[in-house]
Amino acid sequence: MLEKEDILIERRTISPEAATFLREAGLQKARELGVSGFLMVFDALGLQLTSQGVGEHKHLSVEIATAKAKTVLAVHRSTSVQRERMQSTSQNREDFGGQLGSLFGGGVVIFADEAKTEFVGAMAFSGGTEEQDEDICRAAVESLGLYTDLPPEITE
């Protein structure tokens, strides 16, 4: 028989309020960059908490953002990080049993801790270049005091 404390677990995840903040910060960054597109935020359980388009986004941006988020939620890595990891280990999509969506940059993992061990959500943007899409998500995540697994941004 299971003990009562072994029946339920707690899992930390971003709140709906945090998702709204991330969405607004991401949309603001997209406007600053002059990028049209579509943004989505998911909690750690894979539930879509919020989404919104900015500018004259296309339906394809919605589909690609969804595919990017699918990848992040499956592997708890940002899409560009997962793509690089697969290339360095000679893995391919088939190794992941259909769990991967898009590997284009712009799907970003959200961690609660600087050690990047506590996965709390995912964010995806599609509409700009891969770098712009990542920058939009990274700026939003960092503005909330959370962390991504993306390499540090290089400023010139």
Domains and CATH numbers, the chain: 13-143 (3.30.450.150)
- Confidence at residue 144, expressed as pLDDT on a 0 to 100 scale: 96
Q: Which residues of the chain have pLDDT under 50?
A: none
pLDDT at 2: 79
* Contact partners, residue 156, CB within 8 Å, separation at least 6: none
Q: What is the pLDDT of residue 82?
A: 80
Q: How far apart are CA 107 and CA 39, in angstroms?
A: 10
How high is the pLDDT of residue 146?
98
Closest CA to 137 of 100, 99, 98, 111: 111
Three-class DSSP category at 105? coil
Q: What is the pLDDT of residue 152?
A: 80
CB-based contact 51:20 (threshold 8 Å): no
120: phi then psi, degrees, rounded to nearest 5: -125, 0
Whole-model pTM? 0.88
